């Protein structure tokens, strides 16, 4: 008989990490464990407080309902959880895990065999100029050739100085630079800021203005001197029709897929299919999951064979993450099969 349980787990940051939603010291996550005939499936519901559309008071109540009704099966469960994308993803993960001999090898590939890796960007956390510069040097020395800076938290001129300093030392051919504004620019000053940023040969900017302003974002995407990637804009957009309407209206240069925030593998596949039909490029990003969620996202990402650097975490942010085979080497994420999983709640 199939049974399920859920467990809350608090991940502790090694050092406070600055985001557009303030400084984080802990990150709450939830695990769904499915058991059937002596087998166990593990899934992570990567709730991100303040950003996830399913950050609501009845979240735990919904998890309890899922565990009580687990016997109705994955398809029926997913159809009843449209407004809870992180739980959808946790369930997809757990059911796929249950099917496997190795509960953590969800998508067998050259990646999980350890013979191929995924190029990723090095993420620079928000902070003062000195702290951000230190991180940039560390990423370059670690072999990253794609770096992503979160901007919008400190003075814009200081951020321009940082980018200028990088570009004076490293050309576009040496280091690809991405920036993420997390909606920090106002509609009135966004274009001027994009013009200033474009002088530094950037790859793209994520979410220059706040989500939900489709017409304003569409105008920006039409005249921008710098490719725009939609990120938060995708959160809370349910159904294929609405997704198509968003991309057709805004016509972005890129979309960014965070499976925990947009309905897991199924939700990501819908966005990718839509983007392809409208000639919009994309990449996949993790969203502060533990190594369990990161592992699922990485394995899924590899199957898509997108050659751009992906926005996958490194698993090294937390003091109490779970031991896993995921490793970062020379700006890539790889699977080291000499290391075993250690998943203890």
Give me the residue label for tokens 């009135």.
188
257 φ, ψ to 5°? -105, 120
CB 46 within 8 A of CB 29: yes
Q: What is the DSSP letter of 93?
A: H
Q: Residues 139-166, buried b or exposed e (16+ Cβ, 10 A)? A: bbeeebbbbbbbbbbbebeebbebbeeb
CB 255 within 8 A of CB 270: no
Q: What is the DSSP letter of 233?
A: G
130 φ, ψ to 5°? -60, -45
CA distances for 311 relative to 75, 241, 260, angstroms = 28, 27, 13
101 φ, ψ to 5°? -65, -45
Whether 150 is catalytic: yes
Q: Residues 267-284, buried b or exposed e (16+ Cβ, 10 A)? A: bbebbbebbeeeebebbb
Write out the two tokens for 28: 């709450």
Q: Which of 27, 139, 150, 193 is catalytic?
A: 150
CB 288 within 8 A of CB 27: yes
Q: What is the DSSP letter of 130?
A: H
Q: Which of 258, 307, 329, 342 is catalytic?
A: 258
Give me the residue label for tokens 């040496």.
174
CA distances for 26 relative to 12, 80, 180, 267, 319, angstroms = 5, 30, 22, 27, 10
Count of residues in the chain: 345
Whether 14 is catalytic: no
**How many other β-carbons are positioned within 10 Å of the β-carbon of residue 258?**
27
Q: Which residues are catalytic?
A: 150, 258
């Amino acid at each position: 008989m199939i049974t399920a349980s859920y467990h809350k787990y608090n991940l502790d940051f090694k050092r406070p990490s600055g985001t557009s939603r303030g400084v984080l010291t802990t990150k709450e996550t939830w695990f769904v464990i499915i058991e059937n005939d002596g087998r166990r499936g593990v899934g992570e519901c990567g709730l991100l407080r303040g950003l996830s559309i399913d950050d609501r008071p009845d979240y735990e109540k919904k998890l309890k309902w899922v565990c009580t009704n687990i016997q109705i099966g994955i398809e029926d469960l997913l159809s009843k959880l449209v407004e809870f994308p992180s739980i959808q993803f946790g369930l997809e993960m757990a059911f796929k895990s249950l099917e496997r001999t190795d509960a953590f090898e969800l998508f067998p590939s050259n990646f999980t065999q350890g013979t191929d890796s995924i190029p990723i960007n090095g993420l620079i956390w928000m902070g003062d100029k000195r702290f951000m510069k230190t991180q940039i040097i560390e990423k370059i020395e670690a072999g990253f050739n794609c770096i992503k800076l979160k901007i919008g938290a400190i003075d814009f001129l200081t951020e321009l100085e940082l980018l200028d300093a990088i570009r004076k030392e490293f050309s576009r051919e040496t280091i690809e630079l991405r920036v993420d504004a997390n909606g920090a620019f106002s509609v009135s000053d966004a274009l001027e800021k994009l013009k200033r940023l474009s002088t530094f040969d950037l790859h793209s900017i994520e979410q220059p203005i706040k989500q939900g302003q489709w017409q304003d974002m569409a105008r920006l995407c039409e005249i921008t001197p710098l490719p725009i990637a939609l990120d938060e804009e995708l959160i809370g957009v349910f159904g294929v029709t609405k997704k198509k309407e968003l991309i057709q209206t805004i016509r972005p240069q890129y979309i960014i897929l965070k499976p925990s925030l947009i309905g897991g593998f199924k939700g990501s596949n819908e966005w990718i299919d839509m983007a392809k039909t409208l000639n919009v490029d994309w990449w996949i990003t993790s969203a502060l999951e533990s190594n369990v969620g990161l592992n699922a996202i990485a394995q899924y990402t590899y199957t898509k064979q997108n050659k751009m650097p992906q926005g996958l975490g490194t698993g090294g942010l937390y003091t109490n993450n779970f031991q896993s085979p995921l490793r970062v080497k020379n700006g890539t994420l790889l699977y080291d099969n000499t290391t075993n999983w250690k998943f203890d709640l």
